[in-house]
Structures are given as structure tokens and as C-alpha cells.
Amino acid sequence: MEEELQRISSRPEFSPVLLAWMLMQDPSAMTPSSRQFGEKAINQRVLKVVTDICTDPVIEGESPLKELVCCSMSDVVSELVSRFDTDRLGSDVEVRSAVAALLHSQKVTHTDFFRPPFDQGVRHVWNDSLVQFPTEMIGLLELAKAVAETSDENKLKVCF
């Protein structure tokens, strides 16, 4: 498997796969090559790739494909932001953009945002944005808009 990952490791569009491989490894038994795949994914701006994938016109609208893609990407991003300092992952803008793209999925919003634990995954990025409010309003507004657009019920939840 690692040989195949090495073969695709130079292509940024595969950076989510590299990152997922690293995150699947037991942290105490992680091999140097797994760690290198994760570092390479971060260097290839994996969060921008996630944003691009989740906002691609091919999966626009509500569809099973969009839900599948966004849920898969959400699992990877949630694990990433829960296990690592978000300052090391890229710019705050890239982190929030990736999470906002994921939150456009109703299933991601329902399962990963409004359910405990409220300090992990995509909710962790929301909490960081709340802490920075009102100094940094744009990030929080982007995330709130993404959540609110998924349903009328969520519009009320975001407001209150």
C-alpha cells in the first residue's frame, strides 16, 4: 500500500488520501513514511484540495454523491483538526473554507456539528471562530452561513 501511496504522493489532488492514511495509523506505532505522507499532504495544501472537491460543480446540489464525498472528507478533516494544532495546518482562511464547504452538506451539519462532543472536529473550528469574535467576524459569518443554508431549522439554531 505504501508503494502505491508513494507513487501518487506528488499529486496534490491525492493529498486527502495521503492524509487519511496517516490518520488511520496508531499514533504510537506510526511509521516514518506514514508521517511523511501526512506532512506532504499538509504541504500540498490538503485543506484547499478538500474545499475544491466539496465545492466542485460535479457534486453541486443535494445528492447522494455530495453527501458521501462531504461525509468522507469531514471524517478526515475532523480527525485532523481534533489531533493537530490548526495553526500548523495552513492559514485560518483555508481551515475555515474547508469546514464551510463541508458544512454545506446536510448530513455533515446534522451529525458532526449539532451533536456532542462540541469541542472536536468541525465544531472545534466553529469554537475557535467564536473565540476570535468580534475581532475576526468574517470567518464566523462564513461558517454560520454554511450551516444556515442547509435547512430552515439550522437558520434558527445558528441565530440562537
pLDDT in tens, 84-115: 776 666 678 888 999 999 888 877 777 767 77
Domain ranges of the chain: 1-44, 45-159
**What is this structure's pTM?**
0.82
Burial class (CB in 10 A: 0-12, 13-18, 19+), 79: middle
Residue 90 is predicted with a pLDDT of 67
Q: What is the pLDDT of residues 26-47, one digit of tens each?
A: 777 778 888 888 888 888 989 9
Q: How far are the Cα atoms of 1, 44, 152 from residue 126, in angstroms, in the given order? A: 35, 24, 19
Contact 41, 15 (CB under 8 A): yes
